Structure 1
């Protein structure tokens, strides 16, 4: 997520209506803020604390890129999607997932994006849109492997197995499962 720190800084600064010079104050230079925003410099811990206080951001802002209201909205959407999916109201659940993905696209948060893509893949499997589900699952699995998030990776592989089971492609299930196990044997 470090790759979006500059974007998140600029987004928070613009929301507060401050110029780079106003944000930097006496503690930092305008050029430092500019370099962080364009990705040429990392945000130091001192600068992170200073900016968090000055812009009145949540402590987790530079970890997620989400303002408090956005985070609450996404958490509500997660619960709503889970409830609607459990009650088999897939089209409504899908509309909530797409709403969440539009919020996430603006924010640039890969973790939430992939969590909602996983939910979308699950819904697509349940309504029979296997091609879309496969594409989403491939993207999600790559992300969770890179992040070494094995809990969500296991969930992704579970739904990949369900996808191939629904498509009656049993040979691929065995390959997927053995490939997944080989991944852990190498560690």
Structure 2
């Protein structure tokens, strides 16, 4: 129940340990303060200002409802958190927005959505896509009540991206299509282009090339027709998707040309993240045509760019490099790349990346029939996987352990891990 003005004054006075006389000071009497607290008289604006100053609060502390105060406080917190987020200070932004948790229940739906939206975006940029997904789902549940199409569509895109980056493309597609439903003539051009672009990319990853081309063509046509400040940033991405489609259809030389063109566009734009991804894809093309030396060189360049930009796909390029070294028979290079990747993931506190590193080490030592070492890395990976609660990945690892034990001649352990894999997925 909302306290009355007098009750608020009394409550604040007692919090500060003041008597009526101490609060009254030399300007009014204790009796006057008592009358105000009991609701027998309403203080003038001047007296209320005096009381507020004596109690070290703003006048609004007494005049606004709890909800009004909370919502005003949130606006200030959110504004600072958003600024920190845009500056790339994600931990600081999280620390700031988390201060609003105590007043969350007093906020309106849009503000609750903002609270989870900032959190979700920060974790997304930090590469923690599972946490990002959970928080953005909460944001979406509040924003959808506001009937604000653009922000709701934007959240669907971000949820889709979180899923896409954890290799859950089919689920991601559903969210991209949900965002697509909101497209209309009045939608912000940048959001509309992103929806079309992400749909093309998702269909590409699912090997549904006709649909990938269809949505890419829609994106290109839309970008040609519309003028808005950020449109140029989509152009290298279009080359990237075209290059990927070419590679999927074994047009490797054409693909390499497109990735190199994308790299130059990203370079002109100063987009280091894009430069890293374009170099990685070009390296894959060079691998396809058998130019392993240049492929390794490009993977190394991609890693350098991704380290600079803090790209969440850094680990994937490291793993590509490892496989390239293995293809060349360069065992030392592969091991060094894995160890380097592990150091980078630890430095970034990237648990998802560490899982990939330890799984790669497990696989590598299994292939070398160094089963004892492989087992160690498998159990380290398992520990991280269980912390994340990823039952599907846990089951897959049990199956791989079963295969390893069978190869090592330990049939009992092989059977035990098959049973474990099946039991957790029932």
Q: Which residue of 1 aligns with 2:368?
A: 127
Name which structure has the greater RCO, CA cutoff 8 Å, separation 6+: 1
Q: Does 1:171 align with 2:416?
A: no
**Residues 362, 373 of structure 2: 8 Å contact kept:** yes
How far is 1:162 from its partner?
2.6
Matches within 5 A, 1:76-115: 76-85=317-326, 89-115=330-356
1:183 aligns with 2:424: yes
Q: Is the 8 A contact 2:315 2:356 kept in 1?
A: no
1:143 CA drift (Å)? 2.2
Query: 2:160 corresponds to which residue?
Result: none
Aligned length: 142
Offset from partner CA, 1:36-84 (integer Å, 9 cap, x none): xxxxxxxx87665331213477963334498734545433212122344
For 1:68, the equivalent position in structure 2 comes to: 309
How far has the Cα of 1:120 moved from its partner? 0.6
Q: Deviations over 1:138-182 (max 9, x none)?
A: 121232233233443344223212321222100111111112211
Mapping for residues 7-86 of structure 1, pairs under 5 Å: 48-55=81-88, 60-64=124-128, 68-69=309-310, 71=312, 73-85=314-326
Q: Which moved more, 1:99-108 or 1:69-78?
A: 69-78
Q: Give the secondary structure class of the aligned counterpart of 2:126.
A: helix
Question: Residue in 1 aligned with 2:388?
Answer: 147
TM-score, structure 1 normalization: 0.62
Distance 1:89 1:157, change over 3 A: farther
Larger Rg: 2
CA contact (8 A) 2:392 2:425 kept: no
- 1:159 matched to 2:159? The reply is no
Q: For the aligned residues, what is the CA RMSD? A: 3.1
In 2, Cα distance between equivalents of 1:153 and 1:131: 20
User: Matches of 2:316 and 2:375 in 1, distance apart?
Assistant: 25
Unaligned runs of 5+ in 2: 1-76, 91-120, 130-306
Q: Return the TM-score normalized by structure 2.
A: 0.30
Runs of 5+ in structure 1 lacking a partner? Answer: 1-43
Structure 1 position 114, deviation (Å): 1.1
- C-alpha distance in structure 1 between counterparts of 2:384 and 2:313, whole Å: 24
